[in-house]
Structures are given as C-alpha cells and as structure tokens.
Amino acid sequence: MEIKEQKITVRDLYEGYFNDAEEGVVGYNGNLDIRPKYQREFVYKDSQRDEVIRTVLKGLPLNVMYWVDRGEQYETDNDEPRFEVMDGQQRTISLCEYVDGSFSVDDKFFGNLPSDQQKKILDYELFVYVCSGSDSEKLDWFRIINIAGEELTDQELRNAVYAGSWVSDAKRYFSKTGCAASRIADDYLKGASIRQEYLETAIFWAANAEGKSIEGYMAEHQHDPSAVSLWSYFRSVIEWVQAIFPQTRREMKGLPWGLFYNRHGTRTDLDPRKLEEDIQRLMGDEDVTRKAGIYEYLLTGNEKCLSIRGFDRRDALAAYEKQGHKCAICGKECKFEEMHADHITPWSRGGQTVPDNCFAATAIFGKGRSKTIDLSF
C-alpha cells in the first residue's frame, strides 16, 4: 500500500468538470471520477454545501480528501479516469458546482464575486491523499475511511477497487435507473439498482455457481471487454423462475433465485401446474407462518423453510394433563417443564396445529417425521 499527499487547486479540479445524474461526475481535466456512472447521488444539505464555500473564502482548511489511483487498471482501460474520489465527494461537487454557477452563497453566485475572491477560490489548495496498492489493500483502506456522512455500500466499494471495462458494462445492465435488470426482475429483487444492489445480487449468484466469492469473480472478469456473460446468466435465472413459477406474488421478492437456479436449474421433474396448486394450498394453510419459504420448500422438501406454527403453552399444558403427567413416548411421569409439545399426526401428513393433535413428551421427534404417535399407553 502506498499513500501520497498531493495539493490540488480548485482551478485544476474544475478543469473539464461534467455532472450528469446518470453518466456520473468527472473533473480534473477528465482524470478524476468524482461520482461513477449509475451510482446513487449523495446530496449535501444547502447549509453544508454553503459552509464549504465560506470555509474556502476564509482561507481555512477543509478536511483531507482521499483518491484512489487506478494504476494498472487505467493503463489497461484508459477510457476510464485515472483517479476516483473515495472520500470528499460532496466537498468536491460543492466547489465545482459553485464555480459552475449552479447556486449562490450569501446571495452571491461565483460570477458575482469580485475578481480577487474568484481567484482566491480557484487558487485554493485541497489536500489529497492518493492511494495505490493491491485490490485487497485498497478495499480494506476504503472500508476504514468510509465512516462519515453517507456511507458507500459494499458493492460501491468493490466497484471502485475492480473498476474497468467489465464493471462499466455491468452497470449498464444492472445499475442505471430503469436498467435492463429492473425491467425483467423487479418482481424478484429487493433493493435499488442505483445503490448497486441489483448488481451485487447478480454477481453473488454467478459467483456462487462457480464456487467463488464476489471479489474473486470481479477480479477474474475485471478486464473483460463486456459483462454480457453475467447478463446472460442473470437472464437465464429469471427465465427459469418465470417458467416454473409463472404466477408472481409479493412473497417472491428478495428470494435467492440464483442459488435455487444453481442447484435446481437442470431438473426435469418440476411441473409448473402442480407447483402452482401446491403454492395455493400452502398459502392458505394457517400453520405455514413463513409464506416466502414455500418456494424453497417445494424445491427442497425442507419443512423448516415454512416455520410451521407450534403449539402454545396452553395446548401443551392441556396435553400434559390429559396424559396424566406422563411422557407420550416412554410413559414415565415427568415435570411439565421437561416436556415438549408436538403434533400427533405430523403436519406433513395433514396434521394441524390444533389441541386435539397435540402430545407432550420429553423427546422431540422432529419436524418432517412420517408416523403418527400412538398415545395408547
């Protein structure tokens, strides 16, 4: 890890300044990525923004800013700016927007200031720490300094570390407002594309399919010319979901569909019509307390996904008294505190969570057992 201190004037910072809600913010003669494309926009309150300008006019120091030097990444893909702001984004934008004439401070726009005050702002020196190093070193460093104001998400930090042609193209599919991923998958994804949550989800699913971490997957593809393989994989996931579960429901939103696809995508025994019948039945079952778990249950048969409603203390106590304080399994007399309540006829065989189907025992047979308990002791 190498960190260098530099002094950058506002004049140099403003050179080539460009600000677009979708395309990002660039400055320093095109060499500084102030806010990357399709990244959520942090906005200072007017009072905070104005105070930055007043601080500069008074000649007082602003807090140090942090940039990352993309180094070899820039040499490989010099269509992207050499540097990226990691801390100091809003101070940088406030200064450039004021010089650009976008707002006034104390009823004066930059163009209204006397020439000596304009010069004072343009010649003001910012203290910048420029970081270069390995991907893991930069990621750790970014997380350390990412502690004030509006924090970057983990995926926004990763995008900075693994910046390049692949990330830029992936953002086109997954990070832009109204992006392609949003158009086909809003019913299945939680979060917001502009916060990089759609992109993070897609990479996580694809990385899982290859037994990799998100960082490992991004490092492998960092210099790929496009992210079309990630997009093709993501589309395959969504098309599979739509094929086997064609009826969309709110319970489907945010489920790990890519992980389901990775494990079950090649199965030929999944009948959409039968699955829909099962979904309707389970949605109407009062004992199923976690409706979102129905989809995983139908794929895996794991009853725990459904969080089947258990018996309350009143039902358990009634069963205990009915059994004469004896365990339904071993027939020995036990204290109530030693007992556990369960279904006489398992839920999986149609048994409901009702008092008449409750027994008390010192041993739990476990969810999913296939036999009815014999209480003829």
> Which stretch of 242-251, 288-297, 328-337 has the lowest confidence by average pLDDT?
328-337
| Two tokens, residue 346 | 């398992």
Domain membership of residue 27 (yes or no) is: yes
In this prediction, residues 196-225 reach a mean pLDDT of 96
- Identify the domain boundary among 162, 179, 196: 162
Evaluate if residue 377 carries a pLDDT over 50: no
Evaluate if residue 188 carries a pLDDT over 50: yes
Q: Please check whether residues 39 and 149 belong to one and the same domain.
A: yes
Nearest to 245 by CA among 205, 219, 215, 280: 280
Domain membership of residue 134 (yes or no) is: yes
Residue 190: the pLDDT is 95
Domain membership of residue 297 (yes or no) is: yes
Domain membership of residue 30 (yes or no) is: yes
Q: Which residues pair with 340 in a beta bridge?
A: 361
Residue 198: the pLDDT is 97
Residue 374: the pLDDT is 56
In this prediction, residues 324-348 reach a mean pLDDT of 83
Convert the pLDDT of each residue in 348-365 to its tens digit: 778 888 888 888 888 654
Q: Please check whether residues 122 and 201 belong to one and the same domain.
A: no
Evaluate if residue 20 carries a pLDDT over 50: yes
CA distances from residue 163 to 51, 76, 98, 197, 202 in whole angstroms, order as listed? 32, 11, 29, 17, 17
CA 214 – CA 195 distance, rounded (Å)? 16
Q: Please check whether residues 73 and 6 belong to one and the same domain.
A: yes
Convert the pLDDT of each residue in 224-252 to its tens digit: 999 999 999 999 999 999 999 999 999 99
Max mean pLDDT range (73-87, 293-307, 316-330, 360-374) = 293-307
- Identify the domain boundary among 202, 217, 245: 245
Q: What is the pLDDT confidence band of residue 121, given thresholds at 50, 70 and 90?
A: very high
Q: Please check whether residues 10 and 158 belong to one and the same domain.
A: yes
Q: Please check whether residues 300 and 318 belong to one and the same domain.
A: no
Q: Please check whether residues 232 and 289 belong to one and the same domain.
A: no
Domain membership of residue 267 (yes or no) is: yes
Can you say whether the dihedral through the CA atoms of 167, 173, 177, 181 is positive or negative? negative
> Which stretch of 60-64, 69-73, 239-243, 359-363 has the lowest confidence by average pLDDT?
69-73
- Identify the domain boundary among 245, 260, 291: 245
pLDDT averaged over the chain? 88
Q: What is the pTM of this model?
A: 0.70
Domain membership of residue 370 (yes or no) is: no
> Which stretch of 9-13, 94-98, 354-358 has the lowest confidence by average pLDDT?
354-358
Domain membership of residue 372 (yes or no) is: no
Q: Which domain holds residue 336?
A: 313-361
Q: Please check whether residues 129 and 13 belong to one and the same domain.
A: yes
Q: How many Cβ atoms from other residues are within 10 Å of residue 250's Cβ?
A: 9
Q: Please check whether residues 126 and 142 belong to one and the same domain.
A: yes
Domain membership of residue 369 (yes or no) is: no
**What percent of the chain has pLDDT above 90?**
56
In this prediction, residues 32-47 reach a mean pLDDT of 78
Q: Please check whether residues 263 and 123 belong to one and the same domain.
A: no
Q: Please check whether residues 280 and 322 belong to one and the same domain.
A: no
CA 189 – CA 201 distance, rounded (Å)? 8
Evaluate if residue 134 carries a pLDDT over 80: no
Q: Which residues contact 274 (CB under 8 A, 6 or more apart)?
A: none
Cβ(146)–Cβ(87) under 8 Å? yes
Q: Please check whether residues 324 and 298 belong to one and the same domain.
A: no
Q: Please check whether residues 202 and 321 belong to one and the same domain.
A: no
The beta strand positions in the chain, using DSSP E, are 2-9, 18-20, 24-27, 32-35, 65-69, 83-87, 125-132, 340-343, 358-361
Count of the separate structural domains present in the chain: 4
